[in-house]
């Protein structure tokens, strides 16, 4: 099963996830939002599966820098637009497996799903 890990290579949580996947010899490829871009159709699919609220990182510096009007009026359509425009607003990492998508890194969850 080849997984795809999405994120930004200098993000500490993404580094932890990559280290875990490498240490457990999980077959995956890495997709860097900054270098490789973001597919809006894929973003919409994640939002449909997980809910846009779980994808939007409201603790990020990027979120704090958004205009107050945007933050006060955030809804699914607006959230998808700003995440597409500024992928650093997406909670990282996003791990796409054949049957599900995970957001964030949780070693226990990764172990249960990925380690034999």
**Domain parsing of the chain, residue ranges:** 3-114
Residues 6+ apart with CB under 8 A from 27: 1, 2, 3
Select from 3.40.50.800, 3.80.30.10, 3.40.30.10, 3.40.1110.10 the CATH code of 3-114: 3.40.30.10
Reported as a single tens digit per residue, the pLDDT across 47-67 is: 999 999 999 999 999 999 999
Confidence of residue 1 (pLDDT cuts 50, 70, 90): low
Q: Is the dihedral of CA 53, 15, 64, 89 positive or negative?
A: negative
What is the percent of the chain with per-residue pLDDT over 90, rounded to a whole number?
96
Assess whether the previous peptide bond of 68 is cis (omega < 30° from 0).
no
Query: Tokens standing for 61?
Result: 């510096």
Query: Tokens standing for 92?
Result: 């990282």
Q: Write down the mean pLDDT value for the chain.
A: 95
Catalytic position from the list 4, 11, 66, 74: 11
Residue 11 designated active-site: yes
Determine contact, residues 72/19, Cβ cutoff 8 Å. Answer: no
Confidence of residue 116 (pLDDT cuts 50, 70, 90): confident
Instruction: Please report the pLDDT score of residue 45 as a whole number.
Output: 95
Residue 103 β-bridge partners: 94
């Amino acid at each position: 099963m080849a997984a795809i890990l999405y994120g930004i290579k200098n993000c500490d949580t993404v580094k932890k996830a990559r280290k875990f996947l490498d240490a457990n010899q999980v077959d995956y490829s890495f997709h860097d939002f900054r270098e490789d871009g973001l597919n809006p159709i894929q973003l919409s699919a994640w939002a449909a599966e997980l809910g846009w609220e779980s994808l939007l990182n409201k603790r990020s510096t990027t979120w704090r820098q958004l205009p107050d009007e945007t933050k006060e009026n955030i809804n699914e359509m607006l959230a998808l637009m700003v995440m597409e425009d500024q992928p650093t607003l997406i909670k990282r990492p996003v791990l796409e497996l054949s049957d599900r998508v995970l957001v964030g890194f949780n070693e226990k969850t990764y172990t249960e799903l990925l380690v034999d």
